[in-house]
Amino acid sequence: MNPTLSASGACAVLLIATLPLASCASRPPDSSQPRQHPIAVPAPDRPNPPKATPPGPSGLREVFPHIRVDAAAGTIEFDAAVCIDAHNPKTPRVYLEVLACTPDTKEHESLVVTNAAPSQIHAALLLLGLQPGTPGTWDWEGAVIKPLPPSGPRLMVTATRTQGGSPLEGPITDWVLNVRDNRSLTASAGADHFVFAGSQMIRHKGVEMYRADGEGCIVGLCTFGGETIAWSRLFSPDTSLEEPQWIADGSRTPPFGTPVIVRIRKAD
């Protein structure tokens, strides 16, 4: 069993964040492009998430590159950029499987990309006093799949961008639309919410590493099983099991490359 990372593993997080990252993603990288370091050097055809000085809690301080924490306000945030084009009339439907990822991983199916390391986002959440739960998964019981939802402290995730010279903040789920009924993920959430699932510690090629550092899943929508922050309701990324239903809302998602600040708050 791969244990999840708890507060006692914070030192391991900091150590792992300094190691070279080996990809353990479920899909092989595009061999037509030279492999880039997934955190420090974005791929040349991807937006480079800028470092910003955002509006927000006054007690924010940078604790890791691109990551700021205000423990008193129960808030962390990280710099990102929109990595898909939801405004191209030739490809109006951009299907989503994650909401925030690292470079050269899942940009084609994510709202935003960031240079912040998932393990360091995990460590920042520990600084808020949060204890991680477990990512979601499925368990086969004979011919039946039993869903095992993720667990962990409840979180609120918002996205802030500048519009007309002023910051505009709202739930990141506002940018996600259901193709079946044209309702946003926010409107159809009901009791569903984000949780601090905490990814997993795994061994890859003899090296212990934080799974999300390799796979790039920071804020998940579909359940891959290695997300740092997971959606409480399970959606399968396997199209043979479940028809894709979530797309980027072109009326709300900013243009490709737009700087964004993803803010994560403790939810009471």
* Domain residue ranges of the chain, discontinuous segments joined by +: 7-17+36-266
Q: Over the stretch 107-119, which tens digit does the pLDDT of each residue have? A: 999 999 999 999 9
Which CA distances in Å does 11 have to 19, 120, 207, 267? Answer: 13, 11, 16, 25
Q: Over the stretch 27-76, which tens digit does the pLDDT of each residue have? A: 333 333 333 333 333 343 555 555 444 456 679 999 999 999 999 999 99
CA nearest 126: which of 268, 263, 262, 13?
A: 13
pLDDT in the model for residue 232: 96
Rounded average pLDDT over 94-101: 97
pLDDT in the model for residue 205: 86
CB 78 within 8 A of CB 65: no
pLDDT in the model for residue 24: 33
Q: Are strands 112-113 and 259-266 parallel, antiparallel or unpaired?
A: unpaired
Rounded average pLDDT over 240-268: 92
pLDDT at 267 over 80: yes
Q: Over the stretch 173-200, which tens digit does the pLDDT of each residue have? A: 999 999 999 999 999 999 999 999 999 9
Of residues 268 and 180, more confidence is placed in: 180
pLDDT at 140 over 90: no
pLDDT at 147 over 90: no
Query: What's CA 142's distance to the chain center, in Å?
Result: 32
pLDDT band at 19 (very low <50, low <70, confident <90, very high): very low
CB 93 within 8 A of CB 84: no
Q: Which DSSP state fits 29?
A: -
pLDDT at 168 over 90: yes
Q: What is the mean pLDDT of the chain?
A: 83
pLDDT in the model for residue 261: 97
pLDDT in the model for residue 55: 52
Of residues 1 and 250, more confidence is placed in: 250
